[in-house]
Homo-oligomer: A and B are copies of this chain.
Amino acid sequence: MAAAPQVDASALQTRQSLIEAGGAVFAEVGFHNSTVREICRRAGANIAAVNYHFGDKAALYREVLDYYQSRSLQKFPLELGVRSSAPAAERLRAFVRSFLLRIFDHSSDAWHGKLISREMIDPTNALDAIVVERIRPQAQHLGGIVRELLGGDPNVELVRLCSFSVVSQCLFYHHCQPVVSRLFPEQKFSPEDIERLAEHITRFSLAAIKAIARKQSAASSRRLPARKRLQRTNSRPATSR
């Protein structure tokens, strides 16, 4: 494991230092590849500290997830400042931006996105809880936006597929960073890059979903009586752009 700047823990409680050092290490190399020794080294604590304060490595990991989860929730709310009454397109943009910022935030207390992102690929026992507490609500939030954008009758599978299409684009840059940076060394993921990325993903997804919505409503209009069709197409709220 590469050398890293040691956190000055003189004023902090050992327990808290361990959580923070753990967040850093777990986020960097994942649960399986990180070692208690490295975490303790960065926290300026003794090797036995993890077991003394938490019981074992897995318990520290759960604690780290809990800690950063509450931080992340207040720092990156799903809506990101956009009211739930806002047009669906705007809410989608907010969702994408929030998602990317969460994953690419390099500030010291933003490990949560990375931790979850790692869980997705190399799960520990903690993933079950994360899915219920964190991912499912997000999926439902996004599902609501997509459903509104699609309009018409809510085909569950279509909503799911489109939602996945949106989040997959966001996750890609984090999951495949090793490949992306080898393919295009100039890609840097500065704050401006993140904004451009968010803009692209939003545009791309909006265009796709709207086109699918058009096709869908055209198809259903062939099945439905004219009056009902009119009602339908009108009641589709604010797919503005």
Contact = CB atoms under 8 A, between A and B. Distances in A.
Interface stretch (A9-17, A37-45, A65-73, A165-173): A165-173
* Most chain B CB atoms below 10 A, which of A160, A167, A200: A200
Contact of A205 (B33, B203, B208): B208
A196 to B, nearest CB: 8
Contacts of A120: 175-176, 178-179
A154 interface: no
Contact of A171 (B122, B168, B178, B208): B168
Nearest to A139: B183
A55 to B, nearest CB: 24
A5 to B, nearest CB: 24
Query: Which of A131, A173, A184, A207 neighbours the largest number of chain B CB atoms within 10 Å of its CB?
Result: A207
Nearest to A184: B160
A189 interface: no
A128 B182 contact: yes
B169 A164 contact: yes
A191 interface: no
A28 B144 CA distance: 35
Contacts of A165: 169, 200-201, 204
B121 A178 contact: yes
A139 B205 CA distance: 21
Contacts of A47: none
A194 interface: no
A241 B174 CA distance: 27
A168 B160 CA distance: 16
A203 B168 CA distance: 16
Contacts of A32: 32-33
A237 interface: no
Interface of A: 30, 32-33, 119-123, 127-128, 131, 135-136, 139, 158, 160-162, 164-165, 167-169, 171-173, 175-176, 178-180, 182-184, 197, 200-201, 203-205, 207-212
